[in-house]
Amino acid sequence: MVKIRYILLTMAIVLVCVGVYFGEQEMVLSKAIRICLECIGIG
């Protein structure tokens, strides 16, 4: 169980790092700073 826990933690950190390497955080930001019309029931 302890091994799985640390493997999953490592995988999560690696995924975040890969995402940052590809600049995905900028895509998240660009979506989040615009009002999501679907979320509010217009789109």
Binding residues for another protein, rule CB under 8 A, total: 34
Q: Least distance from C-beta 34 to another protein, angstroms?
A: 8
Cβ-contact 26, 20 below 8 angstroms: no
Instruction: Output the 3-class SS for the chain.
Output: CHHHHHHHHHHHHHHHHHHHHCCHHHHHHHHHCCCCHHHHCCC
Nearest-approach distance from CB 8 to another protein, in angstroms: 5
Site string for another protein, 6-35 (x = CB under 8 A): --xx-xxxxxxxxxx-x-xxxxxx-xxx-x
In whole angstroms, how close is the CB of 6 to another protein at the nearest point? 9
